Structure 1
Amino acid sequence: MTTWQQFLAQYGAQLSTKAGANEGTGISMDSENLNASLPAWNTNSLQTGFVAPLADLGLIRVQGDDAASFLHNQLTNDIEGLGLTEAKLAAYCSPKGRMIASFLSWKTSEGIFLQLSRDIQAPIQKRLSMFVLRAKAKLADVSTEQLMLGLGGQAAADTLKQWFPTLPLQAYAKTDNEYGSLIRVPDADGVARYQWISTAETLEQAWPALSASLAVTDASAWRLTEIQAGIPRITVKTQEQFVPQMVNFELIGGVNFRKGCYPGQEIVARSQYLGKLRRRMAIAVIASNEVAAAMEVFNGSDATQPCGMIVNAEICGENQSLCLVEMKVADQEAGDIRLGSNDGIALEFQPLPYAVLDITQ
């Protein structure tokens, strides 16, 4: 247990080997000590204000004169153009154009940071390092040096002003000061969300004020708001399953089609320009607490083969999960989509918070 985890344990936190519907190592909060049961934070705190330690995320720092150009040649977004006051989504793809990682990336005076699911952090860092070759770039795991908090809800902004008097106003805007980096991420269910990245010392000093003003939740609450915002996260179970457009990644700013080559670029570009996209990602509610990433979904009238896959899922109420599901557009339009088999639990589709544009020749 790290010093940060020991510190959180004083406030009712405990280590957990399963975080919500997506399995992984993280921190879960003792609901008895915190009086913050799942239904309470799901229905109230996500709107009024919450703070969550994001122990299920890993962080890679890339330093060196060639750090930006190296990453630019590996990822789907324009990393050479990444500024100090912004963050960008990006994907790392296989040569076949399938996503093997999704990142939130940002730049500070200390280097370029890549945030990703912790269950794939080590192998992705190793894979990227294999392609450094003669480039002046060095990758390091800084997951225990730079810690991450997710904050959201109506009270989050006023609470954060104690440390960041000028808040980032737009999605993916970033501000830095002596207290670390603060990134505004897309709203969820109509309320603002932020990520605060800093040292354990800084966050420990801030924690009493944070926990006094905001409900303390575990990382599953943050993942639920990511689903509400329509932002997919690639985990070990879903690696190499999706071309970026299948999970709407280009719609949320994760792909730059004007930049140079990167692994899988030809296939990603071909998917974009050679006709209408046949697969997309949607949001759905499922009446079950047993929904997990990589589970298949079926058209109710076709038992022969699945028509899609769960990308991410989190419990959102009693016997209810919210999920991101990638599937054939035609099947979604036809309706009657079921979990696990053609006679499984029905999916109830919800509107995405952004427009899904048809791509035609």
Structure 2
Amino acid sequence: MNPHWRSFLESAEANFAADAADVLDFGDAAGELQAAGRQTVLVPLTHLALIAASGEDCKSFLHSQLTSDVNHLAPAQAQHAGWCTAKGRMQASFVVARSGDVYRLLVAADLAEATQKRLQMFVLRAKVKLSAETERVLLGVAGPQAAEALADAGLPLPAAPLAVADGDTASVLQLDAERYVVMAGLDAAPGLWQKLGVKARPAGVPVWRWLDVHHAFPLVTLATKEEFVPQMADFEKIGGVSFHKGCYPGQEIVARTQYLGKVKRHLYRLSGEVPLAAGDELYSPDNLEQAAGKVMTAAPSPAGGFVALAVVQSNYAGNLRLGARDGAVVLASAVNPA
């Protein structure tokens, strides 16, 4: 995280995690969670980062690497995408946002540096420039007055979910009906924070993660790197996989998995009374051979307890335990029921 931005957030009474750059809260974690369910919140998205891709061959390069159809991504639009290993396992997930001829990849911050370096290895002679956008700040605005807060701050409004609007000092990506990501220049970010804060309550990253669970937003992080074939996290159901494009890393396995109907694990929402964290293993007393699932994203819940998104083996979803077969009970409900 840029030290100037961190200093500004500290002056705004942000509390940081001891072992990470994530903002935990602004002094009232419980109140911020409660606000997220009914009010508009403003979150410094310190758990996310941007990789910018540009250059004459940028579109074809990304199309050849990612699971989605980048060739048909129109200007001012965005889409989900995965980047797989040769074995079809996602080593990163993105929201790809196109601004003119520049493609910005929204990615988990703990994967950003390694992902950029590994992508760079495949550029070879292509005319592509990959760069970490460390001079941009990511702000999340969510809730019933989110669009109004953006307009009052002088920010452009996207036309629809998974659309992008570019302004002089910031671009805005609409994730879903009431959630926006502001990609602001470092110099403009403090002023935008203050303007957005008129209608939106500052809140920590756990609030945004709760919203990710609520909206079923799957994000691959360091804790779940190379754990899932895209369909296990339901990426094909949110436009993150194209089965009509050319080759990309892992394409053969992803396609075979789809057409042979071998996907036995899918995305579920979990709830429980004990803390959940990305990478936690899930077990079932009915399955003595292996783990029955793994947590992708987790957060405390405004209703009490904890919630998560997890990839779960469907035939064991009705009887899950955390960490061991005799662990704490967690309840699961399918995000996309069959």
Taking the TM superposition and a 5 Å limit, the aligned residue runs for 1:169-184 are 169-184=159-174
Shift of 1:74: 0.4
Greater shift in the superposed pair: 303-312 or 257-266: 303-312
Structure 2 match to 1:186: 176
Q: 1:20-59: CA deviations, max 9, x gaps?
A: xxxx43233341xxxxx22212122342110001111121
Residue 225 (structure 2) pairs with residue 214 (structure 1) = no
Instruction: Please say if residues 73 and 98 of structure 2, whose CA atoms lie closer than 8 Å, have aligned partners that are also in contact.
Output: yes
Greater shift in the superposed pair: 148-157 or 94-103: 148-157
Shift of 1:269: 0.6
Instruction: Please say if residues 77 and 97 of structure 2, whose CA atoms lie closer than 8 Å, have aligned partners that are also in contact.
Output: yes
Instruction: Please say if residues 163 and 179 of structure 1, whose CA atoms lie closer than 8 Å, have aligned partners that are also in contact.
Output: no
Structure 2 match to 1:5: 6
Structure 2 match to 1:52: 43
Structure 2 match to 1:25: 21
Residue 279 (structure 2) pairs with residue 294 (structure 1) = yes
Structure 2 match to 1:153: 143
Q: 1:109-156: CA deviations, max 9, x gaps?
A: 4621111111111111111000000100011111x2121111101121
TM-score (norm 1): 0.88
Instruction: Name the CA distance, whole Å, in 2 between partners of 1:157 and 1:232.
Output: 23
Q: 1:161-184: CA deviations, max 9, x gaps?
A: 124576334320221122321111
Cα RMSD of the aligned pairs, angstroms, is 1.9
The one-letter amino acid of 1:203's match is A
The one-letter amino acid of 2:279's match is A
Shift of 1:356: 4.2
Instruction: Please say if residues 281 and 324 of structure 1, whose CA atoms lie closer than 8 Å, have aligned partners that are also in contact.
Output: yes
Shift of 1:342: 1.7
1:315 to 300, 324, 335: 300
The one-letter amino acid of 1:275's match is G
Taking the TM superposition and a 5 Å limit, the aligned residue runs for 1:158-307 are 158-163=148-153, 167-187=157-177, 192-275=178-261, 277-289=263-275, 291-307=276-292
Instruction: Please say if residues 61 and 113 of structure 1, whose CA atoms lie closer than 8 Å, have aligned partners that are also in contact.
Output: yes
The one-letter amino acid of 1:239's match is K
Q: What count of residue pairs does the alignment treat as equivalent?
A: 337
Instruction: Please say if residues 26 and 202 of structure 2, whose CA atoms lie closer than 8 Å, have aligned partners that are also in contact.
Output: no
Instruction: Please say if residues 46 and 152 of structure 1, whose CA atoms lie closer than 8 Å, have aligned partners that are also in contact.
Output: no
Shift of 1:271: 1.0
Structure 2 match to 1:343: 326
Instruction: Name the CA distance, whole Å, in 1 between partners of 2:156 and 2:182.
Output: 14
The one-letter amino acid of 1:293's match is A
Alignment gaps of 5+ in structure 1: 19-23, 32-36
Instruction: Please say if residues 173 and 183 of structure 1, whose CA atoms lie closer than 8 Å, have aligned partners that are also in contact.
Output: yes
Instruction: Name the CA distance, whole Å, in 2 between partners of 1:169 and 1:47.
Output: 23
The one-letter amino acid of 2:265's match is R
Distance 1:284-1:169 versus aligned 2 partners, 3 A rule = farther
Instruction: Name the CA distance, whole Å, in 1 between partners of 2:135 and 2:101.
Output: 12
Structure 2 match to 1:94: 85
Taking the TM superposition and a 5 Å limit, the aligned residue runs for 1:42-81 are 42-81=33-72
Instruction: Please say if residues 286 and 316 of structure 2, whose CA atoms lie closer than 8 Å, have aligned partners that are also in contact.
Output: no
Instruction: Name the CA distance, whole Å, in 2 between partners of 1:308 and 1:238.
Output: 11
Distance 1:44-1:30 versus aligned 2 partners, 3 A rule = closer
Instruction: Name the CA distance, whole Å, in 2 between partners of 1:137 and 1:109.
Output: 15
Greater shift in the superposed pair: 2-11 or 317-326: 317-326
The one-letter amino acid of 1:53's match is P
The one-letter amino acid of 2:297's match is N
Structure 1 match to 2:120: 129
Instruction: Name the CA distance, whole Å, in 1 between partners of 2:25 and 2:321.
Output: 32
TM-score (norm 2): 0.94
Q: 1:207-253: CA deviations, max 9, x gaps?
A: 22222321101122112111111111111111111000001111111
Instruction: Please say if residues 46 and 221 of structure 1, whose CA atoms lie closer than 8 Å, have aligned partners that are also in contact.
Output: no
Q: Secondary structure at the match of 2:56?
A: coil
Shift of 1:197: 0.8
Q: Secondary structure at the match of 1:266?
A: helix
Q: Secondary structure at the match of 1:183?
A: strand
Shift of 1:15: 3.6
The one-letter amino acid of 2:147's match is A
Q: Secondary structure at the match of 1:343?
A: coil
